[in-house]
Chains A and B, each alone.
Chain A
Amino acid sequence: MENNKVIETVGLTKYFYDPVKFQVIKEINLSIDHGEFVSIVGKSGSGKSTLLYLLSTMDTDYEGQLFIHNELVTGQIDSKLAKIRNEKIGFVFQFHYLLMEYNVLKNVMLPGFKLGKYSNEELEQRAMGHLKTLGMENHALKMTNQLSGGEKQRVAIARALINDPLVIMGDEPTGNLDRKNGDLVFDILNKLTEDFNQTILVVTHDTDFANKTDRIITMEDGRILS
């Protein structure tokens, strides 16, 4: 039971049915160890994003088995999956998805409120800590629409970190950013792996970004090439 695997899949297969039945993911066996900074690359339509969303537990329409932290999550009910995402997975998407009704600090704290593990004061302190790491502590009380694109993405990373997730999953986290901000986001993620041994799994089509990660998974036609 005790091994280092954060994510493991056995024979993961997925079909799209619209407009015709089409196999997007073909029998993928994959495992990601603790502390790895992994990037998934591949051409458009190779199934890399689809794979990520399968691993994220949000997409449950697949065949095969998915283990997170050696726990089988395939076939779990919606509320259990939501709990797993809350506790173990942090997300950074291409778009920041910050709630504009809340300020920066509250946005970061929101998944923490849901987890309910820490008191409000503790949570606030932790959120401030993460914002500090990301150089955003001065923006904590701003509303999200007052931030620039790069800043928003950093807030999204802080939100992903708030519950000390097992793994951070990113879908083109630098896709919407310019070179400078993109590098900044990469540096932050890289620093998290180096300093805190954070496992990170990122889908990207940015080869420069991918080349700097520990491990590159290349996908083509629903299969892993390397």
Chain B
Amino acid sequence: MNFKLILNIAFHLLKARLKQSVIAAVGVTFGIAMFIALVSFMNGLNELLDGLMLNRTPHVLLYNEVKPSENQPLDLSANYKNNTNFIKSIKPKDRGKSIYNGKEIIKVLKKDKRIIDVAPKVTSSVLFNSGTIEISGFVNGIDMEAEDKLFKISDYIKEGKVTDLSQNNSIIIGKGLADKMLLTVGDIIKVSTSNGNLASLKIVGFSQLGIAEIDNVMSYTSLGTAQKILGQPKNYITDIQLNLYDKETAAAVAEEFHKTFNLDAMDYETANAQFETGSTVRSIISYSVGIVLLIVAGFGIYNILNMMIYEKMDSIAILKATGFSGNDVKWIFISLSIIIGFTGGVFGLFFGYIFSIIIDNIPFETTSLPTVKTYPIDYNVIFYVIGISFALCTTVVAGLFPALKASKVDPVEIIRGK
């Protein structure tokens, strides 16, 4: 088959019906542009929301959960071994929140090749005292360097710096908390812990995550300060957070560490299951809208090619008489639709990109998302690849039926019918 000739004929047919062809291509352009803009925007939004939670969640968290002991003394008794035992009113066992031998575990984990870094943490619920009012909240004693490396905590510190926590008895409190108690940087805040210790800490900064529930209760201090106000020794650690190079393996790794260290382990997917669902639903919506747009464009192409075939019956008949086979004719019309689909698609990618840039520059300021200034856009090459493949697929399918029809045109019928 002579594709150059077939393309040449297809081009000339297109030129003869330029207006309709352009309209068909514009349909594809519109579909693809909308698809790209929509998917980029939706994914940008997904990433923003996921980032809000997931980036702040360690891939694997090791901790001690308050829960009843799995092996009750009764189970160990030889006398009742073969019985079915019912025990009522079991109370959870307090193994202490402290991770036993935490420093050693961290040392082992730091050597693990799969792990990016390990961040130990001390968390405790506390009461912040302001005059006569007590506001309950949490204090997080963090390893500043590791925490910043894993969770980019600096991004959320609005005033002051994370490293300011290295000063003795310093604290960074949530913006919501500060607003409630009318505190500014440099003020002293009184913190009382559950075991009755009272400490005065100097505020060196504010953190604002954008989630009011967290900003109203959260505060950060250094690991040492936290241990001190809780009256605990230097080896007191309540959580070990770690991030993996391959976060898809988090669930498996969590299970492994649960067995190895005899600690409770939670992977980020379990911790944020509802966010994953939200992302998936949003993706499905944007993809289906895009596909619907393209199907509509496909019908446009189908219509125009069909019309063209009726109009060009004579040409098809003479092409067949002078030696073009049904297959050649079929390819002429398929290439027609590919040309329409491809040019429409390429323009669609271009306009999709433009739309994305426009959306990216629309101001979007909300108090709950202080880090975001404009609408989020995810410029992912894969969307453009999917877009152009969609464009080609729909146009080929839309062109296929008219093309098959054209290939079956009986030249004798046309010529004798004159």
Contacts and interface: CB of A to CB of B under 8 A. Distances in A.
Report whether chain A binds chain B: yes
Given A99-B315, A99-B318, A101-B16, A83 B323 contact: yes
Interface stretch (A113-121, A192-200, A216-224): A113-121
Contact of B318 (A56, A86, A97): A97
A165 to B, nearest CB: 10
A161 B415 CA distance: 19
Nearest to A106: B12
Interface stretch (B90-98, B148-156, B324-332): B324-332
Contacts of A102: 12
Contact of A114 (B5, B16, B416): B5
Of the four ranges (under 10, 10 to 19, 20 to 34, 35 or more), the interface on chain A belongs to: 20 to 34
Interface of A: 49, 53, 56, 58-59, 78-79, 81-83, 85-87, 91, 93-95, 97-102, 110-111, 113-116, 159, 163, 171
A98 B12 CA distance: 13
A18 to B, nearest CB: 12
How extensive is the interface on chain B, given as a class?
A: 20 to 34
A85 B326 CA distance: 13
Main secondary structure of the interface of B (DSSP, over half): helix
Given A59-B412, A82-B328, A95-B418, A111 B322 contact: yes
A176 to B, nearest CB: 9
Interface in B1-57: 2, 5, 8, 12-13, 15-16
A110 B322 CA distance: 9
Given A99-B315, A113-B5, A91 B412 contact: no
Given A85-B322, A97-B321, A101-B16, 15 more contacts: A49-B416, A58-B412, A83-B325, A91-B321, A91-B322, A93-B418, A95-B314, A97-B317, A97-B415, A101-B15, A110-B319, A110-B322, A113-B2, A114-B322, A114-B324
Interface of B: 2, 5, 8, 12-13, 15-16, 314-315, 317-328, 410-412, 415-416, 418
A82 B314 contact: no
Contact of A97 (B2, B8, B314, B326): B314
20 contacts: A53-B415, A56-B321, A56-B412, A58-B411, A58-B412, A78-B327, A79-B325, A79-B326, A85-B321, A85-B322, A85-B323, A86-B324, A91-B318, A93-B418, A95-B314, A97-B321, A101-B12, A111-B322, A114-B5, A114-B328
